[in-house]
Structure 1
Amino acid sequence: MIAVDLPGFGESPPLTGEVSIATLTDSVADFIREQGLDGISTVGQSMGGRIVLELARRSVGGDTVALDPGGFWSDREVAVFSATLRPSIAAVRVLRPVLPALLGNPVGRTVLLAQLSARPWALSRETVLPDVRGLADSPATGAAMDALTKGPKQQGAPAGSVPGRVTIGWGRRDLVTVPRQAARAIELFPDAVLHWFERCGHFPQWDAPHEATSLILDSTA
């Protein structure tokens, strides 16, 4: 398994030019080609889910698993997404020094993560802290939000045009990419199989880790 940091996230330097879903996808496609990984299965969640679907649309990679992907919202839904998540990211940055303490408390987790998890109080600090710190620390977070909210919506792939199997997983209680968007995703990717995560929010790897792992392994075997 290879875990890729997008440009401007983790230890990867930011893009020097435009930051968009297209250019972020270009960077992943270039990495796949440069490393001789043609046909590799790809897995992503949220913006990463959108990027792996875009790779499949471009016929890059092999089997694809997209968990709660962005890009399938209506104009009103993307406006709500932007208006609610941007202040949350700003708050996390302000609270960066005290995040370990806040996320170590069930009440703190519930307050900070209610939009992202169906059961934030039940999560552990060790599970959520790396992802929350990533939102706070990554220099490309703002640019990525602009790419998601101000750029074009996700295009689809006609039946028979994707390079492998496509599986789309969606949390029934997702408050970020709301569940009704799943129907649009399947309409645009008619070859895809839809899997519902019950009692799950935007992060299946948080709320249903064993189920998410099994889905990924079964869909890319």
Structure 2
Amino acid sequence: MSARVWSGVVPMLDDRFDLIVPTAAGHRGGPKIEGTASIRALTDATERILDDRGLETVHIAGNSMGGWMAIELARRGRASSVCAFSPAGLWSASEPASGTRATLAHVKKLADVTRRVTPTLLRFELARRIVFREAALHGDRMGFQEAVDAYRDLADCDVAFELFATTENLEVYSSSSCPVTVAWSANDRIFPPDQFGKIAYERLPHARFVELHDVGHVPMIDDPALCARVIRESIGENS
């Protein structure tokens, strides 16, 4: 997706924090990426944003691939804290193509072949709920234009298939110097917690784990207020 998916969360944080809300390189509205897309390359591009602003460390929140990238930035010493919502990368390099990444590729292919008709259908709440069922429990809560933007973010993502095919994975991050919160959506259809939770505990042994109820893989769609609260708590704020 893109930075637009955080639009409901931003107003609940910008009264307390100076926010940087970038779209990942290679994604719709983000900077171009040279060569083959990889998590390392996208993390490099994000790190350059910090360098350009003269920022050594920041609090970082991310969802799915963004959650994985947040942990990689912590590994590089660029994070004061991390809040990773359903982070990607918790697979092995040998995972067969029939695994979760194949599900993601299927969603992308479906967006590609229906790009002419889907935006019109998104005027209807039921259509929004169906189209975004892999990402959210309550896709119908999105407004029409918000849904169209989210759909186009996926359909126009130039690097999706390269990232789905990556041989990279989220390796063990055992440092306790950076507080890490892993916030897992209880109803995540992309990375079900009962399948990936144990792996997350093994690879992130010092992380704090939180289960989020009544939300799907992209919880910012279902409950922006919940996401904002979890981010504040991950930083150490209680309200």
How would you bin the TM-score normalised by the shorter chain? 0.7 to 0.9
Match in the other structure for 2:107: 88
Identity of aligned residues (%): 26
**TM-score after normalising by structure 2:** 0.81
**TM-score after normalising by structure 1:** 0.87
Match in the other structure for 1:2: 20
Would you tell me which structure has more helix in proportion to its own residues? 1
Q: Is 1:175 paired with 2:189?
A: yes
Match in the other structure for 1:158: 174
Q: Whole-Å Cα distance in 2 between the matches of residues 218 and 125 of structure 1?
A: 31
Q: Is 1:215 paired with 2:234?
A: no
Over the residues paired in the alignment, what is the CA RMSD in angstroms?
2.1
Change (3 A) 1:105 1:80: farther
Give, in angstroms, the shift of residue 187 of structure 1.
2.3
Match in the other structure for 1:57: 75
Q: Whole-Å Cα distance in 1 between the matches of residues 227 and 216 of structure 2?
A: 12
In the alignment, which of 25, 37, 43 is matched to residue 25 of structure 1? 43
Q: Where does the alignment leave 5 or more consecutive residues of structure 1 unmatched?
A: none
- SS state at 1:4 partner: coil
In the alignment, which of 118, 125, 132 is matched to residue 144 of structure 2? 125
Q: Is the 8 A contact 1:44 1:67 kept in 2?
A: yes
Match in the other structure for 1:194: 209
Q: Whole-Å Cα distance in 2 between the matches of residues 68 and 78 of structure 1?
A: 20
Give, in angstroms, the shift of residue 134 of structure 1.
0.5
- SS state at 1:104 partner: coil
Change (3 A) 1:179 1:5: same
The aligned amino acid for 2:173 is: A
Give, in angstroms, the shift of residue 193 of structure 1.
0.9
In the alignment, which of 112, 120, 134 is matched to residue 115 of structure 1? 134
Mean CA deviation greater in 39-48 or 22-31:
22-31
Match in the other structure for 2:30: 12
Q: Is the 8 A contact 1:168 1:195 kept in 2?
A: yes
Q: Whole-Å Cα distance in 2 between the matches of residues 77 and 217 of structure 1?
A: 37
Q: Whole-Å Cα distance in 2 between the matches of residues 122 and 5 of structure 1?
A: 22
The aligned amino acid for 1:6 is: A
Give, in angstroms, the shift of residue 47 of structure 1.
0.6
Q: How many equivalent pairs are there?
A: 216
The aligned amino acid for 2:225 is: H
Give, in angstroms, the shift of residue 36 of structure 1.
1.0
- SS state at 1:18 partner: coil
Mean CA deviation greater in 30-39 or 99-108:
99-108
Q: Is 1:143 paired with 2:162?
A: yes
- SS state at 1:79 partner: coil
Q: Whole-Å Cα distance in 1 between the matches of residues 184 and 97 of structure 2?
A: 17
Give, in angstroms, the shift of residue 64 of structure 1.
0.7
Match in the other structure for 1:72: 90
Change (3 A) 1:84 1:157: closer
- SS state at 1:96 partner: coil
Q: Whole-Å Cα distance in 1 between the matches of residues 52 and 172 of structure 2?
A: 26
Give, in angstroms, the shift of residue 63 of structure 1.
0.9
The aligned amino acid for 2:150 is: D
